[in-house]
């Protein structure tokens, strides 16, 4: 059987993993085996985190809108229900921005919906 040396391929593969592990603590950025495990775990967490971020931001928008709605005498759930009935086309992100930075504008939205 012919001997396969894999020189270039192995070096490139290790180099790629160790480049991804830059900044990791201790031997995780120098030794290949622990670096490989750490990089795979980091990539898994990054994938999960990109999806989790969307959930976290939606919760933040809802909390901000709830506080602004309560200042105007409504609960968040009633406000959203009325928005659906009145066919308001603003999404939660934009309404949260308006509630934070333009309280008068949000008050007008609430009055329109009521």
Q: What's the CA gap between 114 and 109, in Å, rounded?
A: 9
Residue 9's pLDDT is 87
- Contact between 92 and 58 under an 8 Å Cβ cutoff? The reply is yes
- Average pLDDT in the 23-48 region? 95
CATH architecture assignment, domain 7-113: Orthogonal Bundle (1.10)
Q: What's the CA gap between 70 and 73, in Å, rounded?
A: 5
Residue 55's pLDDT is 95
Domain boundaries, the chain: 7-113
Q: What is the pLDDT of residues 49-95, one digit of tens each?
A: 999 999 999 999 999 999 999 988 899 999 999 999 999 888 999 99
- Contact between 107 and 72 under an 8 Å Cβ cutoff? The reply is yes
- Contact between 17 and 36 under an 8 Å Cβ cutoff? The reply is yes
Whether pTM exceeds 0.85? no
């Amino acid at each position: 059987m012919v001997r396969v040396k894999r020189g270039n391929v192995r070096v490139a593969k290790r180099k790629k993993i160790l480049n991804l592990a830059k900044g990791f603590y201790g031997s995780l950025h120098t030794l290949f085996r622990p670096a490989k495990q750490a990089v795979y775990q980091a990539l898994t967490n990054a994938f999960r985190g990109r999806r989790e971020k969307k959930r976290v931001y939606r919760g933040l928008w809802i909390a901000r809108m709830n506080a602004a709605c309560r200042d105007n005498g409504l609960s968040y759930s009633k406000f959203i229900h009325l928005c659906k009935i009145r066919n308001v086309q603003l999404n939660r992100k934009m309404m949260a921005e308006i509630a934070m930075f333009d309280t008068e504008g949000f008050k007008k939205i609430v009055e329109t919906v009521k």
